[in-house]
Structure formats: structure tokens, C-alpha cells
Copies of this chain bind each other. A is one copy, B any other.
Amino acid sequence: MALHPDRLFPIEPASREIARRLYDSVAGLPIVSPHGHTDPSWYAEDGPFPDPATLFVKPDHYVTRMLYSQGVRLEALGIARRDGAGVETDGRRIWRLFAENFHLFAGTPSRLWFEHSLETVFGIADRLGFRNADALYDRISDALQTPELRPRALYRKFNIEVIATTDGALDDLAAHDAIRASDWGGRVVPTYRPDAVVNPEAAGFAGNVRKLVEITGNALDWEGYLAAHRARRAYFRERGATATDHGHPTARTADLSKGAAALLFDRILSGTVSPEDAEVFRAQMLTEMARMSLDDGLVMQIHPGSYRNHNPSLFAAFGPDMGADIPQPTDYVRALKPLLDAFGNDPRLTLILFTLDETSYSRELAPLAGHYPALKLGPAWWFFDSPEGMRRFRETTTETAGFYNTVGFNDDTRAYLSIPARHDMARRVDCAYLARLVADHRLDEDEALRIAHDLAYRLAKEAYRL
């Protein structure tokens, strides 16, 4: 067994003992996964996962970006080029490249997630490297053919209670319908992610909006557009959705008059869009979404602050999500004010905030969430979904916002096999944090036990209304 039972716990023995007790009390809790990117068709079709490279390397931008940063070409990792030029297709050769460069991941969460999956799913406790690359490739390939490693079996093995996917506003949710129509007992719910019909700078935006109003039988004007959103949200809710998600460059919100919003909508649909118009439109739509959430009860999530597609030649060759999204400073205090002025005091609204700018935790986000009834803090996100990132999240938010203005953990991943690894890491890091508070007498252990349970299970379920 290579995964040490005390990994990520405090080093000092007495606090490690406390962390162990706390962790033991939550380790077996079901996984509630209220935000993520697994493909609903996996659960609908329940087919086998492909080869190890396609499972662990090619689709994982944490992995490919690190290899790329050290000079490995994306073509050699089998990433498809937009121009159709040839890329590596031999999974074994891609896997070897990963294995040879495995030392690059020392100290990263990718390493910990990978080894957790390797051991708990495949029973492999060896460290990957040049020497055993082929042997491990074979073992994993063989295991992937067994029924125990189909998506539905893993759902049970992983002890998932409910998992949310993320779905475009125009998605027909056929895979979700198929899951619900089947006799399978798993709970997979969609999430309404309308970026493609909300962001005027998204590729194909105007066409998307036309399609949106068309499929909902609405007019192509501001009121029709809002009605179409309401219709699609209802469609998602009927299929189990409890939340919406908004990935915007900034957290800016606006609260225009109806007339001004309608004019902006017309301007945006009728020609070239200025960056400021695009920004204000996105801003206005966050406020509209909050307004709709007050009506239909969908929990709202904002994921702002990423400079998407920072690398234009890589984007041209390979498209988005290739590891070239870079965080930038993100303002919340002024940006959120129009939305908060309108709805921030309403405890019926739940607006969950994320950040890629850690400086905002103690300065802005904890003070905001520690005041506004509508606001909650999402967990450490993306680059910060890591032991140090999670620790800093707790250390910089708890003293001002407490634990109960946070919402438990999100795995936020499309890497299905890493889901238990990620929840396990979050539970360990939270228990380690709590153990330190107990050990220096800021908290009693019975309180820490209750909080550990809430962070691992209850808060996610309640905040996301699952």
C-alpha cells in the first residue's frame, strides 16, 4: 500500500491523531458532487473507458499543460489539431511520454490524484516511471475491459450519492433523459450553464441566441430572450437541475433599466459588439439570472477571473481548454454591487462565488459572504484545488466568514476516476485544518467532528438544494 493513511495530515503527532479521528468519521460519507464536468452519456451508455492515455493524459489539462511547459509537444500527446494534421495515435507511446516525465508532477495535486486512482481503482501501488510504463499500461488496459470499471459500477464503488454535470443552455439533455428513463438508481443532474447564449464574445453567439428563442418559441427581442432563459431553466429543473453556473471573465454585474437592457440586446444582436457592450451585457445577465433564481429556486454560481485562451497560436492550432487559461486580478467589491444592491439581502437567493485571485479571499470575499445573506463562498477552485490552496482558503476565510458561509467541496472535474481522490483530499485537508484549531484550543473536538461532517457532506447538499 503506497497511499499512506496519514497523508496530508498535520505532521505533529498529537494534531495528527486528532486529524485521523476527524477524518475517520467522514471518510466513508457518500460523495455529493454538486459541480463538475463528467459526461452524462457515460452514465447513460455505461460503456468501457478507453485506453490509459485517453483516460489519464489526453483530456486532463493539468497534465498536458505541465508536459507542454517542459517542451513536450501537444501533438505527441495525441491532442487533435484543428487543421487535421497528424498527431500521435498510439496510446502506449503517449503513456510512455507521461511516465518518463512523471517527476515533473512532484508536489502537484495531479500526482496525488493520479496515484489515488491508480491504487484504489487499479490496485497499483507502484510509482509510475520509465521502467514500469509498459507494464502499468497493460494492467490498466486490461482492467478497463472489466465490468467493475464501467461508469455505473464506479459510481457505486465511489459511493456517489448525487453528481451534477454542466450543460449548455441549448443542450437537449438527452443523456439525462436516458439516465432517468433507465432502471439505474444513480442520481445525475444537469446544471444550467448559459455562457454560449449570454456571452456576446463567445463563438457563434448570435446564432446560439437565435436558436435559444426558436426552440422555446419566443421572439428575438429582450423580453423573448429572457422568456427563453426561463423556459430552458424550467426544462433543466424538470430534469433535476438545482443550479446554474456562469463562467465570466470578471464578476461584473449591472442592473440596467428594462429599456436600456432591451436596447443593449438589440445592439448586440445587430452587428459588431464593442468589448464594453459585451461586458455590460454579461453583467446585466448575471443580475437577470439572480432575478430568475429568486423565482425558480436555482442556486447560482459565478466562476470569474480567467483570461481564457491566453496563447493565440496554441488556440489556433488546438482550440480552447489546452491549459492556456491564466488567472487575473478580480474585483468583487464594486463588481457585484449592482446585483447585491438588488438581491443581496434576500436569504432565498443562494449565490456561490469562486475566485482565481486568492488575494480576494480575506479582503473581499470573506467580508462579503460574512455579511450578505445571499452570498456563499465556493471552495478553492482550479489552480487552488490542491492541499496548499485549500489550506489557504480556510486560513483566509474562516475568521471572517466562518464555516457556514462556505458550501463544502466541488470536484469540478471531467476526470471521473479522480473524483474520489479529490473528495478525499478535501476531506483530509479540512480535517487537518480543524485538527490544528483543536490542537491549539480554538475549537473543541466535538465541534470539529460536527464541522468536518458538514464540510464533507451536509453543506454541499444544502447549499445546492440537492
Contacts and interface: CB of A to CB of B under 8 A. Distances in A.
Interface of A: 3-4, 6-15, 65-66, 68-71, 103-109, 111-112, 127, 307, 310-314, 323-329, 331, 333-334, 337, 340-341, 344-345, 347, 356-359, 362-364, 366-373, 375, 383-384, 386-389, 395-396, 398-405, 436-437, 439-444, 447, 450-451
A270 to B, nearest CB: 30
Contacts of A404: 70, 103-104
A401 B400 CA distance: 27
B312 A341 contact: yes
A68 B441 CA distance: 27
A68 to B, nearest CB: 7
21 contacts: A11-B12, A11-B15, A65-B370, A65-B371, A69-B375, A70-B405, A104-B402, A107-B398, A107-B402, A311-B341, A311-B371, A311-B372, A323-B371, A328-B333, A328-B334, A357-B359, A358-B362, A359-B363, A386-B400, A388-B398, A388-B399
Nearest to A65: B371
A368 B8 contact: no
Contact of A4 (B8, B337, B441): B441
A399 B344 CA distance: 35
Contact of A328 (B104, B364, B439, B447): B364
Given A307-B334, A357-B359, A359-B359, 12 more contacts: A11-B12, A12-B12, A13-B14, A69-B372, A103-B447, A106-B402, A106-B451, A107-B437, A111-B442, A324-B371, A362-B389, A388-B399
Nearest to A71: B347
B69 A373 contact: yes
B402 A383 contact: no
A365 to B, nearest CB: 10
A443 B387 CA distance: 13
- Which one of A310, A331, A396 has the greatest number of beta carbons of chain B within 10 Å? A310
A417 to B, nearest CB: 20
Nearest to A312: B341
Contact of A313 (B71, B341, B364): B341
A383 B400 contact: yes
A430 to B, nearest CB: 11
Contact of A366 (B106, B340, B383): B383
Contacts of A14: 11, 13
A403 to B, nearest CB: 6
A116 B359 CA distance: 31
A367 B383 contact: yes
A274 to B, nearest CB: 19
Nearest to A14: B11
